[in-house]
Chain A
């Protein structure tokens, strides 16, 4: 019991420190972050989105962060991606496109491709060649890093990178076909 209460006190302190640390990073890098949001397509909403980002990062219980600026920039990038996906979801729902669009409320959490399309994506990955498919799955599905993949498969880092590019490019082209149909 004593241990538990000590534990929770410690983490609460950490959280406060982390939040203060994040606030400090947000304030110190305000211009840089707003510039990023603008470049990322925020337009007139850039200042509002900076506030959204602030809320997101200071609300969220987070442990100590080793390198706060990249963490903040990644969060800003994710915020913009969520925004894009929400807009996309609304547009798709309006078009009554696909089963996800027809049956779900808009949310950034919801997949924008149907299960059927995902099955086609899987088939396309598998069809990209045995080595490329394996490298891609290790990277994207298992979350392995490129260096580990290269050593476990006995290929060069540049081979891993080239295969990843190839499969992503193929999937992007496939995605365009989904959108057009």
Chain B
């Protein structure tokens, strides 16, 4: 049923794309296609209606502030647009040994639970679910991401860099916004504003806004800098996860952290990658159904969670 609908939808999209050409004249061919099955007209309507709504898209890529809804429907979506972020300067990601903790506060979020903490200096840490962050009252310009994911919005202070520590790496930040994920033996950094220097003592990789790296703990080679869309950095904060060819296991891990969903990937589906946008729906079953449909897998209930198979 579903693959059928998908292929009809693909044909409907093809017609729509062709019809946007003012010189399109194959209306007889279009009529024939519509006549093949009553579903064709219905699916074409939904796609053409969507296309008409896209007429409201602003003409140029604007900063996210241009599209801020004045009254977001859901509070959880508010974070997507952020606030006025600190002027970006330079951040440095470095390698060091762990610093001893004095009066540390440990903030641990359950899977699916997100928290924002405001620091005394005005910096802000948005913590995704399933994560552990430590802050220290005696060291107001320091935070440690023990595990999980967090988005840091750091207020710049001359000569007083903000330090984020994760997995033995030190991120020395002089005023920027970036997302950090600490997975098992792997650190990911994506910069949405400002500049980050990764391991200035060793790799000397410079990350500007819109760049990201993924580094395994045992990588010997310098990390490869990748392009990442600024709008999708920290997407977990708004309940929209956007992927451009990510392994399903990574998607499952993100769903666990962000929404508290238990999703296992069967070995036969382990090699599949996922491309698309996933909304964390209140009805988790919808989110799973979408993930399955978009990745070409089947979802089955398993205990409190789901398993994706082929």
Contact = CB atoms under 8 A, between A and B. Distances in A.
Contact of B52 (A85, A130, A133): A85
Contact of A116 (B24, B69, B235, B277): B69
Contact of B69 (A41, A84, A114, A170): A114
A36 B31 contact: yes
Contact of A114 (B16, B51, B73, B276): B73
A167 to B, nearest CB: 10
A120 interface: yes
Contacts of B10: 165, 169
B229 A172 contact: no
**Chief secondary structure at chain B's binding surface:** helix
**Chief secondary structure at chain A's binding surface:** helix
Contacts of A178: 279
B27 A70 contact: yes
Contacts of A161: 17
Contacts of B243: 127
Contact of A127 (B41, B42, B277): B277
Interface size, A (range): 35 or more
A56 interface: no
Interface string A167-180: 01111111111101
B159 interface: no
Interface string B112-144: 000000000000000000000000000000000
A125 B53 CA distance: 14
Contacts of B46: 172, 175
Nearest to A166: B275
Contact of A73 (B27, B73, B278): B27
A161 B20 CA distance: 12
A88 interface: yes
Interface stretch (A3-11, A13-21, A46-54, A139-147): A139-147
Contact of A173 (B35, B235, B293): B293
A74 B212 CA distance: 45
Closest 4 CB pairs of A and B: A127-B242, A39-B34, A73-B27, A124-B277
